[in-house]
Amino acid sequence: MDTIKSFIKKLKTFDLVAICFSFFLILLNIIYFNKIENSATWIFINLVVILFAFTISYLEAISEMKVWRIVHYWYIAPIILITFRQLFFMVKPIRVYDYDSWFIAIDHWIFGTNPTQFLYHFSNPVLTEILQIVYGTFYLLPIILGLSLLNKDRYLALDFALFSVIYGFYLSYLGYFSLPGIGPRFTLHDFNHINQNLPGLFLTNFLRNMTNTGEGIPSGTLNPAAIVQRDVFPSGHTMITLIVMYLSVKLKSRSRYFFIPIGTLLIFSTVYLWYHYFIDLVGGLVFMIFSMWSGKKIFNWWRRKIGKEEFEYAKH
């Protein structure tokens, strides 16, 4: 028993949340085994994730080789992407109905119109090009923050930042299960003619195709609205971008001078480019506030459990 406890105590908090969410996905795959495509494969992949998290934590703890620390920090990135891809096969079979009509009604109640349609009157190719490029930097933002902390050897702050990001992603994934939706690209606008109706300059179409492919609808997909990833509420782009912006300010990272303007444009782009309703952004803000409040408590609870120093912004 002591050996098992010693093994578990080598986990970092971001390992713990990755393991817990993997167990949650395994449970869902078992419960809905006959509804989820390739459920057996996904159960195996989640078990591999759990095993890898334990293994890499152990190797870093017992070895003086820096390579294990590097792998330990970087394995989170593909795990997030793999989990996001897994949701493509899970959300729709489990949650049959979409809630876009709710989101549209709430937006219309707030503004008296649909924000994406209102902003369309002010669109132009130069602005569209800039915002599509900014939107495409989303997954780079946590990496840039992590590198800025790693460069200063701020390892505890880095641990907390990684935990905050992955915890935030997983909370947003729970939102997708709760209130699935496909977004205004499909409900309020003509998705098949988006390149003609909201044109950019040079990179817009390419970047759009990359985003579409990542959501399971590569170019030429028939009836894309029926199969696209249900990832509207809350806006993960808004939630994670706000987390990165918040952390960069609280941790006094010089990267904040980059994140604040770029992050603001990125959040605006989610509506301008027809990916999200306004209420999705509100949901992203609410989820962000909850994740940062509860996340710090969870992080320090685990630090106490393993006998390590607690994290405080002012000290680290």
Neighbours of 211 (CB within 10 A): 16
Does 234 lie in the same domain as 182?
Answer: yes
- Return the residue matching tokens 């591999």: 48
Report the pLDDT value the prediction gives residue 1, as an integer from 0 to 100.
58
Does 104 lie in the same domain as 67?
Answer: no
Domain boundary among 94, 109, 131: 94
Report the alpha-carbon distance of residue 293 to residue 299 in Å, rounded. 10
Domain boundary among 66, 94, 122: 94
Report the pLDDT value the prediction gives residue 4, as an integer from 0 to 100.
67
Does 85 lie in the same domain as 136?
Answer: no
221: DSSP letter: -
| Cis, peptide link before residue 234, omega less than 30° from 0 | yes
Please state, rounded to an integer, the average pLDDT across all residues of the chain: 93
Does 129 lie in the same domain as 219?
Answer: yes
Does 50 lie in the same domain as 162?
Answer: no
Does 133 lie in the same domain as 71?
Answer: no
Does 58 lie in the same domain as 160?
Answer: no
Does 152 lie in the same domain as 226?
Answer: yes
**Which residues constitute the domain of residue 1?**
1-94
Report the alpha-carbon distance of residue 41 to residue 29 in Å, rounded. 10
Report the pLDDT value the prediction gives residue 316, as an integer from 0 to 100.
64
The string of pLDDT tens digits covering residues 43-63 is 999 999 999 999 999 888 888
Does 108 lie in the same domain as 75?
Answer: no
The string of pLDDT tens digits covering residues 148-171 is 998 888 889 999 999 999 999 999
Say if CB 303 and CB 311 are below 8 A apart: yes
The DSSP H or E segment spanning 54 is helix 39-62
Report the alpha-carbon distance of residue 217 to residue 289 in Å, rounded. 32
Does 112 lie in the same domain as 83?
Answer: no
Does 116 lie in the same domain as 253?
Answer: yes
Domain boundary among 94, 116, 135: 94
Number of H helices, E strands in the chain: 17, 0
Report the pLDDT value the prediction gives residue 222, as an integer from 0 to 100.
86
Does 141 lie in the same domain as 66?
Answer: no
Report the pLDDT value the prediction gives residue 271, as an integer from 0 to 100.
98
Report the alpha-carbon distance of residue 208 to residue 277 in Å, rounded. 18
Report the alpha-carbon distance of residue 250 to residue 228 in Å, rounded. 36
Report the pLDDT value the prediction gives residue 225, as an integer from 0 to 100.
92
**pLDDT tens for each residue of the chain, 316 residues long:** 556 677 788 899 999 999 999 999 999 999 999 999 999 999 999 999 999 999 999 888 888 778 888 889 889 999 999 999 999 999 999 999 999 999 999 999 999 999 999 999 999 999 999 999 999 999 999 999 999 998 888 889 999 999 999 999 999 999 999 999 999 999 999 999 999 999 999 999 999 999 999 998 988 888 999 999 999 999 999 999 999 999 999 999 888 999 999 999 999 999 999 999 999 999 999 999 999 999 999 999 999 988 888 888 867 6
What's the structural domain count of the chain? 2
